[in-house]
Amino acid sequence: MKHRPRPPEQDDLLRPRLVDMIDPRHELVKLAALIDWGVFEQEWAGFFPSHKGRPATEPRLVAGLLYLQHAYRLSDETVVARWVENPYDQHFTGETFFQHHLPIDTSSLTRWRKRIGEEGVEWMLTQTIQAGQKSGVIDEGSAKRVAVDTTVMEKNIAYPTDSRLYERAREQLVVLAQAAGVDLRQSYARLAPRLALQVGCYAHAKQFKRMRKALKKLKGYTGRVMRDLRRHLDDIPKGGLRDRIIAKLALVSQLLHQQPKGADKIYALREPEVDCISKGKARVRYEFGCKVSVATTLDEGFVVGMRSFAGNPYDGHTLRPALEQVEILTEQRPELAVVDRGYRGHGVEATRVLISGTRRGLTPKRIADLRRRGDALFAVLGACGHNIRKILAHLRSWLAWIIATLRSAQTPIDRKHQTFITP
């Protein structure tokens, strides 16, 4: 159901007001005034088409919590717990009186992220860009000169090994069979874990012939459980559990039949869409996740675009969508884009593209621009957190300068009788 508007606050002499507890010069107070919170109520309303059920949480509260979470790199539980203790966080999310209870359950943030999707968080990134322009962190024309680069948004998965994947697939099939009341011929609950451990010992001792033999046997255990459960599909009534079993059987079958260098290889059963990406880094050869394109302003390093790409595409093929996103979010078409050599053959003609290593016919200013590259961040919300941190740092520096100026203008007698509250 759509969110319910915040009721008008009534004066209560027994409750402390936030404006009486906080410093109006604090950077979070100033940032709250720079963001147009009404945009979220207007644009996110389309994600709640139903008019039935319990009203949704107020959009400003959710947007403010997401900003704080990614600005300070906090988990869902930590940002909600910090909100109860911090009056500045409560003021940032639109509260008038100090609250002593949790604003929402932590699971609500997960549901909100799934509901608003990529379009919803792009509105959050747009508001950080506009707040950066209002605060003076970036100029209005900064988005016309950008640096574009790609990085890997790593997934929180264990390092993929065949023995681990086979054992995890067998365990999940056995659990589903028990939930459906299917009596398997043999679950290998004793033999399979012991064999998976033995595969790792053989690999550590470099006894690869024994390792391959044990791995083949472990794969056979998983295949037997899969085929046994498949034979009982007709006995399982239709419903959500049967659909889950069918999807799991298809995934395990793909795992057992995949080639070592196949295009659709599975690296994690929990997230089958994970790709293996090689970025040429010395510290780690491969990273497991998805490719992300990052666009930052060339002068200030302010993130003006962040987009993920599935399937590990070539860097040059990601440049056009990345520049289109920058134009949509900033309403300005980039005139200059600085990239590395991985973008050769990009095919972009509307924007001038400078490729690192190409200096023939360039001015010293353009050569200096080639040395600037974008920071590697994780996702659009990570970009919002990056921008929020830059805005807060800018506001904090201005506040320190104002306080120092006022203190230097005072006489020694005035300094003795007057103090300033610093954040």
> Per residue in 338-383, pLDDT tens?
888 888 888 888 888 888 766 554 566 655 655 554 433 335 777 8
pLDDT at 47: 78
CA pair distance 59, 93, nearest whole angstrom = 9
The residue whose two tokens read 């595969």 is: 199
pLDDT at 359: 57
Q: Is 255 exposed, middle or buried (0-12, 13-18, 19+ CB in 10 A)?
A: buried
pLDDT at 376: 31
pLDDT at 395: 82
pLDDT at 403: 61
- Segments of the chain scoring below 50 in pLDDT: 361, 373-378, 413, 415-423
> Is residue 336 within 8 Å of residue 348, measured between CB atoms?
no
pLDDT at 315: 86
- Best CA proximity match to 339, nearest among 145, 200, 166: 145
CA pair distance 16, 99, nearest whole angstrom = 9
pLDDT at 379: 54
CA dist list (Å): 91 to 31, 41, 81, 85, 105:
11, 18, 15, 12, 19
pLDDT at 170: 96
Q: How far apart are the first and last CA of the chain?
A: 40
- What is the H or E stretch that residue 154 is in? strand 145-154
206: Cβ contacts below 8 Å, ≥ 6 apart = none
Buried b (16+ CB within 10 A) or exposed e, 11-27: eeeeeebbeeebeebbb
- Best CA proximity match to 269, nearest among 156, 153, 197, 168: 168
State the SS3 of 314-370: CHHHHHHHHHHHHHHHHCCCCCEEEECHHHCCCCCCCCEEEECCCCCCCCHHHHHHH
CA pair distance 384, 305, nearest whole angstrom = 10
CB atoms within 10 A of CB 358: 14
Residue 310 tokens read as 């599935």
> Angle formed by the axes of helices 76-85 and 59-71, to 10°?
110
309 - beta bridge partners?
Answer: 291
